[in-house]
């Protein structure tokens, strides 16, 4: 998640790059290959053991699609045979630097050193950065081409990184902060000098994460996140973060190639075509030369909408978004079927049961034969592609039927405003046969809207905003609802709302005898570890004691003043120590502070969730059992599956009317598949975007590019403010009411 200001800067930078106006102050004057008549740039992407998962896929995709570039996948054997003699730039993706080093072997490592020393260029991310650092006991046989050693690391998050003035002078990368994906990469610390190396730090971390709960350690803030310079006659540009993952960060890679080669590298992004078969490509440890060549073919021929997947994304529910999955053979350090079966067997079985197809060959097919479940084993990649074509030609199956409600469903209301993050919980309750959902606008609280409800959900978003929107009468109505016997489920902002006030100007309901520790700065966003208490184990009887849960700036609760007629227990505590993905200033320690609270307040009952278990499918059980703790009934999970041929829609819900349309119409229309999530990112795999609030300036660049690639944007401008804001986005379809949205989405 990015701040509005940062989103705007990134969108502007990427847009400028696409039209050839990237950056200012770069020392390397450059022009497209076609203008200079230069020979194509030869880029080798390492795909052997250690270079794995989506990072390798993204690098192959970017290099293959780059104009004026010939991209060649290579492995350790190819390096040892002299493949670098015909290479200008070597790309070393993330994964495991130890495994990459072993794949190269002693001879291959010397070949890489010699390649750079004699004038070759090297770009690496995460493990590819590690590989150039000083060896350590846990990272032996590194190349040590840069004077850095391993510092503290741990956790995964989009973390704030600042590029400095030299990044602009060397590579044309705009100075300033941006969020980039971090995945337990190295934190390079200055070390002993390296002969023939002349490098400098061009980006540093602004934040610090330690989500796995290790003891206190030196902060990441201020340490190197990107390093550029020379070794011998060659050039290096390495990142301990992952700018290759997200298209919003690819302007950074463009700058790296500008520094390394003096050339402007551009590439076209593939946009999903309406009706196109959505195909997941399993990337977990599956890469070898054959698999890499298949990736190159799939991302350039445009026959299918290719969605790279790994184990984590399968856990997160990405199988709901695709029609078929390719499980390729590979030379990875683990079997390529790991993402589909290791902890995901149930999800894989459900995917197949609803009509999804999995095509496996090589070692993946051998593993599939040992299991029941309907995986289709094919001879090779050619047979897999033929099977996909056959699937695309089959008749479209009937839309998914939703279960009928029970005779007397539990009545739940959920708060909605434009800053909310309530879609996951709302969808869970709306589709569950045991619950009946009512969308609550801020005005409903003071006007009797809580009457007849059993449960109220206050979701994430903004606590102060929620409190002020409710007003004095609404706040009192909500407090009275709970004290008179109602059930309250609060998450993140809704958790803050239930706590006691601890800072001037930040009012709270004060339902529980706890307050937020209120660090002086926003902690940021990251997965975090929690541990259930003995009381929590009773609430979550079938859950593991230690869990990883999505966190987005919610409270870390500490004891406050006593509350009359309240009995509140701590149900879980944080064990992750530091989350600070946003800025260099330190924040309060989290470890040991309350993450879940629950108990009686007056005649009512509350459940307070400081992190966001509803954000990711693996932790949905915590949400369902939290609701069961309040009402005695867990909602039955109903997952909306993508119907083959359905229009893929990213929907941005804002006010009450927008949520009522989403749940009352769009989710129930089998012609559409609505992607979860409120952020306007990762639009390459959707057909349309529906904006129901004010179209912000920060999203204009991203949405304009989406429309140029063939995507459709529909803006519901049902107020004068929205109509005025819609003018920022040229080319969008603007409608004045929700009953026109479906037609606008289906119009050819």
Looking at the DSSP assignment, which residues form a beta bridge with residue 660? none
CA distance 123 to 458: 46
Average pLDDT of the segment spanning 12-22: 32
Q: List phi, psi (to 5°) of 489.
A: -115, 115
CA distance 685 to 672: 14
Give the β-pairing of 224-231 and 197-205: antiparallel
Percent residues over pLDDT 90 in the chain: 66
**Residue 4, pLDDT above cutoff 60:** no
CA distance 748 to 737: 20
pLDDT single digits (tens) 214-249: 676 788 999 999 999 999 999 999 999 999 998 889
Sole residue written with tokens 């846990």: 138
- The DSSP H or E segment spanning 130 is helix 127-130
Average pLDDT of the segment spanning 726-734: 87
Give the β-pairing of 176-183 and 156-163: antiparallel
CA distance 424 to 443: 23
Tokens standing for residue 745: 């989405």
CA distance 70 to 110: 24
The pLDDT of residue 38 is 84
CA–CA distances in Å: residue 210 to residues 221, 238, 524, 552 = 12, 23, 13, 15
**Residue 30, pLDDT above cutoff 80:** no
Range of lowest pLDDT (32-36, 61-65, 705-709): 32-36
3-state DSSP of 198-263: EEEEEEEECCEEECCCCCCCCCCCCCEEEEEEEECCEEEEEECCCCCCCHHHHHHHHHHHHHHHCC
CA distance 458 to 416: 8
**Under 8 Å between Cβ of 319 and 325:** yes
Contacts of 695-699 spanning 24+ positions with Cβ under 8 A: 695/722, 695/725, 695/726, 695/728, 695/729, 695/732, 696/4, 696/725, 696/728, 697/8, 697/728, 698/4, 698/5, 698/7, 698/8, 698/11, 699/7, 699/11
Strands (E), 367-409: 376-377
Tokens standing for residue 456: 């109220």
Q: Which of 35-49, 292-306, 307-321 has the highest mean pLDDT?
A: 292-306
State the chain's mean pLDDT as an integer.
Answer: 88
CATH numbers and ranges of domains, the chain? 4-19+41-210+219-261 (3.40.50.880), 278-393 (3.40.50), 410-631 (3.40.50.880), 647-746 (3.40.50.2300)
**Under 8 Å between Cβ of 687 and 712:** yes
Give the β-pairing of 578-580 and 546-552: unpaired
State the pLDDT confidence band at 678, using cuts at 50, 70 and 90: low
Q: List phi, psi (to 5°) of 672.
A: -130, 150
């Amino acid at each position: 998640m990015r701040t509005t200001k940062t989103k705007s800067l990134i969108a502007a930078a990427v847009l400028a790059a696409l039209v050839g106006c990237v950056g200012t102050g770069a020392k390397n004057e450059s022009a497209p290959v076609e203008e200079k008549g230069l020979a194509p740039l030869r880029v080798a992407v390492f795909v052997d053991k250690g270079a794995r998962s989506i990072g390798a896929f993204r690098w192959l995709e970017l290099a293959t699609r780059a104009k004026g570039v010939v991209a060649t996948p290579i492995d350790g054997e190819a390096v040892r045979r002299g493949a670098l003699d015909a290479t200008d730039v070597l790309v070393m993706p993330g994964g495991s630097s130890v495994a990459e080093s072993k794949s190269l072997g002693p001879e291959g490592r010397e070949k890489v050193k010699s390649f750079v020393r004699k004038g070759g260029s090297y770009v690496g991310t995460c493990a590819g950065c590690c590989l150039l650092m000083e060896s350590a006991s846990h990272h032996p046989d590194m190349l040590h081409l840069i004077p850095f050693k391993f510092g503290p690391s741990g956790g995964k998050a989009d973390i704030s990184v600042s590029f400095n003035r030299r990044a602009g002078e060397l590579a044309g990368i705009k100075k300033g902060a941006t969020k980039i994906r971090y995945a337990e990469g190295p934190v390079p610390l200055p070390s002993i000098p390296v002969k023939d190396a002349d490098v400098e730090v061009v980006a540093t971390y602004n934040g610090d994460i330690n989500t796995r709960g290790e003891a206190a350690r030196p902060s990441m803030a201020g340490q190197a996140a990107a390093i550029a310079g020379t070794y011998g006659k060659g050039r290096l540009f390495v990142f301990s973060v992952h700018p290759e993952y997200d298209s919003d960060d690819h302007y950074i890679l463009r700058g790296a190639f500008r520094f390394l080669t003096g050339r402007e590298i551009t590439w076209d992004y593939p946009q999903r075509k309406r009706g196109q078969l959505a195909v997941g490509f399993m990337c977990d440890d599956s890469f070898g030369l054959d698999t890499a060549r298949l990736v190159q073919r799939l991302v350039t021929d445009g026959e299918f909408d290719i969605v790279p997947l790994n184990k984590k994304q399968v856990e997160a529910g990405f199988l709901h978004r695709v029609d078929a999955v390719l499980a390729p053979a590979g030379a990875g350090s683990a079997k390529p079927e790991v993402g589909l079966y290791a902890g995901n067997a149930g999800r894989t079985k459900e995917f197949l049961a609803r009509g999804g197809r999995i095509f496996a060959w090589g070692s993946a097919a051998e593993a599939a034969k040992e299991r029941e479940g309907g995986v289709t084993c094919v001879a090779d990649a050619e047979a897999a592609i033929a099977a996909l074509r056959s699937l695309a030609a089959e008749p479209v199956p009937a839309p998914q039927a939703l279960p009928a409600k029970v005779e007397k469903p539990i009545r739940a209301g959920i708060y909605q405003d434009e800053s909310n993050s309530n879609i996951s919980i709302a969808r869970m309750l709306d589709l569950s046969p045991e619950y009946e959902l009512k969308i609550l606008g801020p005005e409903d609280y003071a006007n009797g809207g809580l009457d007849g409800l059993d449960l109220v959900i206050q979701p994430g978003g903004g606590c102060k905003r929620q409190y002020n929107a409710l007003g004095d009468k609404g706040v009192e109505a909500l407090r009275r609802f709970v004290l008179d016997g109602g059930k309250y489920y609060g998450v993140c902002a809704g958790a803050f709302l239930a706590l006691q006030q601890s800072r001037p100007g930040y009012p709270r309901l004060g339902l529980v005898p706890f307050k937020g520790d209120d660090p002086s700065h926003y902690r940021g966003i990251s997965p975090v570890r929690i541990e259930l208490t003995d009381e929590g184990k009773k609430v979550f009887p079938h859950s593991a004691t230690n869990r990883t849960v999505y966190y987005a700036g919610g409270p870390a609760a500490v004891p406050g003043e006593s509350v009359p007629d309240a009995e509140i227990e701590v149900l879980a505590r944080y064990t992750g120590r530091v989350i600070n993905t946003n800025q260099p200033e330190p924040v309060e320690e989290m470890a040991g502070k309350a993450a879940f609270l629950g108990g009686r307040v007056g005649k009512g009952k509350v459940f307070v969730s400081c992190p966001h278990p509803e954000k990711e499918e693996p932790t949905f059980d915590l949400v369902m059992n939290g609701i069961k703790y309040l009402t005695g009934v867990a909602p039955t999970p109903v997952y909306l599956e993508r119907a083959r041929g359905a229009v893929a829609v990213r929907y941005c819900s804002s006010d009450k009317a927008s949520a009522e349309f989403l749940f009352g119409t769009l989710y129930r229309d089998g012609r559409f598949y609505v992607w979860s999530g409120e952020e306007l990112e990762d639009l390459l795999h959707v057909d349309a975007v529906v904006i129901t609030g004010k179209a912000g300036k920060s999203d204009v660049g991203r949405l304009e590019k989406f429309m140029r690639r063939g995507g459709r944007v529909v803006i519901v401008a049902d107020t004068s403010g929205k109509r005025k804001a819609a003018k920022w986005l040229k080319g969008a379809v603007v409608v004045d009411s929700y009953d026109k949205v479906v037609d606008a989405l289906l119009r050819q």
